[in-house]
Amino acid sequence: MLEVRNLDTYYGNIQALHDISLHVEEGEIITLIGANGAGKSTTLMSISGIVPPRKGEILFQGDPIHELPPNHIVSLGICQVPEGRHIFPDLTVAENLDMGAFLRNDKKQIARDLDYLYDLFPILRKRRHQPGGNLSGGEQQMLAISRALMAHPKLLLLDEPSMGLAPLVTRQIFDIIKKINQEQNTTIFLVEQNANLALKVADRGYVLENGHITLHDRADALLANKDVQKAYLGM
């Protein structure tokens, strides 16, 4: 579904990504783990066109997307839930979800999707008339994921969904990420600092260190890898 080839990405003169290559197959959950500042968010932003790469190629379903603007990339079916959520705080929960569907005009399917998401996150149904800004951090994360899903993405890019959330809420959100992957057949590219949880939910994983991919394996193999355990799993 997605192929990233030899990507170099810069902020001005600072090179954040060095020769990044990775691939995502349809239906998979892929995770990219790494320390603070390793380049995880930059990788997602390069894919979604927010910080375009200076070198390399990104192919989505066989077609190059690395020179396309972000709105075009969204319309192809790639949606990013950014770190820190970025919901619209003054719009209600329902209005935030409407915004997610603004590129669509299949009204009946939109209504069915909304129902599905309200069943997935009953708290959002309960709070649908409240401003997004009044929700708790976990609820805002649920809203941000749901808003992205309203666009009916083929590939969902999730940037640190566990950021700032209590362990119980984090676990709930990860269970739902797995459910969305299985029930909606949404392919998921998950960036996480909580490597333990991410590797438990993912099929495969990549380890990013200082802008370089240093390891790539099945998620269960990474969980059993002594170096990964020492560096990222606190063992």
Which residues contribute to the site for ligand ATP (CB under 6 A)? 11, 14, 16, 34, 36-42, 83, 193
Nearer CB in complex with ligand ATP: 36/105: 36
- Please count the residues of the chain: 235
CA distance 4 to 150: 26
CA separation (Å) from 190 to 14, 26, 34, 178, 186? Answer: 25, 14, 12, 11, 12
Shortest Å distance, C-beta 16 to ligand ATP = 4
Token couple for 7: 């990507």
CA distance 191 to 187: 13
Which residues neighbour 75 within 8 Å (Cβ) at sequence distance 6 or greater? 103
Shortest Å distance, C-beta 36 to ligand ATP = 4
Query: 39's torsion region: left (phi>0), alpha (psi -120 to 50) or beta?
Result: left
Sign of the alpha-carbon torsion through 212, 191, 180, 51: negative
Nearer CB in complex with ligand ATP: 18/128: 18
Nearer CB in complex with ligand ATP: 34/100: 34
Nearer CB in complex with ligand ATP: 10/88: 10
Nearer CB in complex with ligand ATP: 37/69: 37
Shortest Å distance, C-beta 38 to ligand ATP = 4
Shortest Å distance, C-beta 1 to ligand ATP = 22
- Residue 201: helix, strand or coil by DSSP? helix
Nearer CB in complex with ligand ATP: 20/223: 20
Which residues neighbour 78 within 8 Å (Cβ) at sequence distance 6 or greater? 2, 47, 48, 60, 65, 153, 154, 155, 157
Shortest Å distance, C-beta 98 to ligand ATP = 29
Sheet strand arrangement including 55-60: 14-24, 2-11, 55-60, 63-64
Nearer CB in complex with ligand ATP: 39/153: 39
Shortest Å distance, C-beta 114 to ligand ATP = 31
Shortest Å distance, C-beta 212 to ligand ATP = 12
Residue pair 182/11 in contact (Cβ under 8 Å)? The answer is no
